[in-house]
Chains A and B, each alone.
Chain A
């Protein structure tokens, strides 16, 4: 098909839609052997979808994918492996109870009539380990290996399968500085051997170190490419965030009041490090940063969903002891989780039952549920929030994202919460419902409640909030009062690193 070039990997015009989302918009991508290409983009820019297409986990709706000039048409997940593509996801694909060598040969064991030639396996594994400079006991259970070691096992697994294309998704995320250095050396070495590498990362300094080129994505489309020489922080940020700020946010006009919720020195493992924040009455506080920056983990501490290792939380001047979510709920703090399906709703129950769940004390006498009162109260919210339902007994699973979010909002409004935490409130929600949810956030703020909004959407952060906190790797990188001088670039610069720009 391709006569003009024999790229190791070439994608042309890859298009992929999910219900409600145009995830990839005619994306082109090429990789030569012995080359390392960095793939950059904001959350939701389409990087993950793209690597899943490369790995055969998703099939493109249209477009071509060729390897060494040959068009590929993958059906089974193992087809891509056979074609020489190996993907190393952040969450490793290793069986914890099997040893390193067993994992490496999983599915391709050398065997005679079902009897595995263990000696041969071990020999080969050791050979691969020495090739990549890994000092790992082949018989060690994967459970017992460190993150870096697991990564090496994954790489060995790919090499044993003669992979020519290696896709690494945020490979440095959980590594120490020293381990990262070793990873760079290994990547250089693999490049020497003619393997093409796709390197997905947020960390600019890493990309400067390992990548020959960087391809930048935004909103599902490829927006640009920079050569190694042209890699420049401000240029990359500009390309990543160049999203238009239009009039999708309702007007707001409010003056925040006194401090209501105060958190001091929160710590939770390595996910949340010494985070302190205030939430004022009548304000929307945005918490932004890249995925994995520790935003969700922080608000889970405020909600008592996880127990902080240390730190104090005060509401209206009173110290709170939060052992479980119901403690926070009783105090007047509520959380609208990012993942409505897994954490926000009981999908198999009716929406009225979901609405009633935190409010049953109110709707019951001595344990007997007053279904009529519950239904009556829910009716008011259905009307007020304009939730589109066929009836109160409709299953939560059958609602659209926007209406599900409204049901969750209704259950907390009925609970009369004082501090309302929205984690990615508009993810997966259509534009119309988005606007309504924004209006509700503004109204709640106007009513004197304290609102915390986690969002990765920088326009949303700028359009909705009074104050902005930016997190990176569990730490607060900066606090900004929202205003015309704050731009998406400022936020992104803080989110991807470099406290030096904090002055902005």
Chain B
């Protein structure tokens, strides 16, 4: 029990949980994998060089897909470079393979090797050909060796997890700050909708829809983020100046925001957007990592530095930890609250812009229930709802825990209804751990 307490008691205790989850899902999604594309070609090349002492005549076959074409193209180059005589490259299915095999039959010249993707090996057309040739030549069929690797740990899947959680994780930065001040912001989901609709609406109405320039799109997104920041500032001033409980102030803003988004869009999607609008949400310009994920990571580092190294960050913790002591020490408590809520609004606005970019449209239904996932990420990440305690990177871990659980359950075919139950239980567990932590691990029944 001691080590469990120790893990949970540290600031980033949930990191251990995340690791355990990753190991678990890796283990249960472990499957035989077929190499793809260039990687497959390289592996097969190694295999061929290990089997044949000297180059011969080869027929290369691959599917008519991107990875199949990459395979044949790359393998062709490799084998040519090694001195093989490539008598044909087949791209397609059984009929193409049959034609290729027949045309390879030249008098006095034997075919030594059919190098193909795994899916070709068992084809009847190939097996029959083999049987027919077995008396007169030593024809071999080789394909890249399959290997074992978890579906969960595939690069594409991991990037997918990161991309799917990016919006929630970015919103959760703002929510972490709000919750550290012992507040809550229920309006972030609605602000997503407003921002998505407003940004796309401005592009359509002011900057010519799908003819819009980059400068126009940037302006539109900037204005949408600014508008959300202003709405957050409004919630913040209700809280700071009139003492309205954050729950109520932001509940009101949640309804206002959702209503405004519907009013502006007339309840319809705004989709008249240039193709380049997608680059924020779907592009991957740096090392194949989605742009939204890079933005998310950048914002987390920024927030971490602000919270740890600047006066504003220090004041946010102080306001949440003990507002009266902070005030009596000269901390501008109200200003800090305004700053935090408008910052949270701006991040929600950014989340809305990213979502609009991901779907290449703006819709008032975006962001529905997102506030709950965002709060869940913050709480699971170890930030105390009573304020004064919490770390932004904890929140990132919390967001990833949620994303990994969702993704893992998708991979293992768990129904989405069951997924909700599991996520709810995880949230309760996180809060329970927080309570126990505060009470020094004593139960009081």
Contacts and interface: CB of A to CB of B under 8 A. Distances in A.
A411 B329 contact: yes
A369 B312 CA distance: 9
B324 interface: yes
Interface string A281-323: 0000000000000000000000101000000000000000000
B318, B321, B330, B332: residue with the most chain A Cβ atoms closer than 10 Å = B330
B314 A360 contact: yes
A364 B314 CA distance: 11
A47 B120 CA distance: 93
B310 A364 contact: yes
A342 interface: yes
A324 B312 CA distance: 19
Interface string A411-423: 1000000000000
A329 B332 CA distance: 12
A251 B31 CA distance: 83
A343 B321 CA distance: 11
B310 A357 contact: no
Interface in B159-173: none
A348 B314 contact: no
Contacts of A269: none
Given A348-B389, A356-B314, A369 B322 contact: no
Interface in B307-332: 309-312, 314-315, 317-318, 321-322, 324-332
A344, A349, A358, A411: residue with the most chain B Cβ atoms closer than 10 Å = A349
Nearest to A342: B324
A360 B324 contact: no
A364 B310 CA distance: 8
Given A364-B311, A369-B311, A369-B314, A346 B321 contact: yes
A113 interface: no
Contacts of A325: 327-330
Contacts of B388: 346, 348-349
Interface string B287-318: 00000000000000000000001111011011
A337 B330 CA distance: 14
A349 B329 contact: no
Contacts of B331: 326, 357-358
**A interface, how many residues as a size bin?**
20 to 34
Contacts of B389: 348
Interface in A332-383: 335, 337, 342-349, 353, 356-358, 360-361, 364, 367-369, 371
A368 B314 CA distance: 10
A326 B326 contact: no
Contacts of B322: 342-343, 345-348
Main secondary structure of the interface of B (DSSP, over half): helix
A395 to B, nearest CB: 10
Interface in B337-391: 388-389
Given A346-B322, A357-B318, A368 B309 contact: yes
Contacts of A353: 314, 317-318
Contacts of B314: 353, 356-357, 360, 369
Contacts of B324: 342-343
Main secondary structure of the interface of A (DSSP, over half): mixed
Contacts of A342: 322, 324-325
A364 B312 CA distance: 11
Contacts of B332: 326
Given A348-B388, A368-B310, A369-B314, A358 B321 contact: no
Nearest to A356: B314
B309, B327, B328, B388: residue with the most chain A Cβ atoms closer than 10 Å = B328
B326 A369 contact: no
Contacts of A356: 314
Nearest to B318: A346
Contacts of B321: 346-349
Contacts of B309: 368-369, 371
Nearest to B386: A348
B383 to A, nearest CB: 12
Interface string A395-417: 00000000000000001000000
A343 to B, nearest CB: 5
B329 A357 contact: yes
Nearest to B306: A367
Contacts of B317: 346, 348-349, 353
A51 to B, nearest CB: 26
A348 B321 CA distance: 6
B328 A344 contact: yes
A346 B180 CA distance: 13
Contacts of B310: 364, 367-369
A330 B325 CA distance: 17
Contacts of B311: 360-361, 364, 367, 369
Contacts of A369: 309-311, 314
A357 B331 CA distance: 7
Contacts of B318: 346, 349, 353, 357
A219 B326 CA distance: 34
Given A346-B317, A368-B310, A324 B325 contact: no
B246 to A, nearest CB: 19
A357 B318 CA distance: 8
- The 4 residue pairs across chains A and B that have the minimum distance between CB atoms: A326-B330, A346-B321, A329-B330, A357-B329
20 contacts: A325-B327, A326-B331, A329-B330, A330-B330, A342-B322, A343-B325, A344-B325, A346-B318, A346-B321, A346-B322, A346-B326, A346-B388, A353-B314, A357-B326, A357-B331, A360-B314, A364-B310, A367-B310, A367-B311, A369-B314
Interface of A: 303, 305, 324-326, 329-330, 335, 337, 342-349, 353, 356-358, 360-361, 364, 367-369, 371, 411
Given A326-B331, A353-B317, A371-B309, 12 more contacts: A305-B328, A329-B329, A342-B325, A343-B322, A349-B321, A353-B314, A353-B318, A358-B329, A358-B331, A360-B311, A367-B312, A369-B314
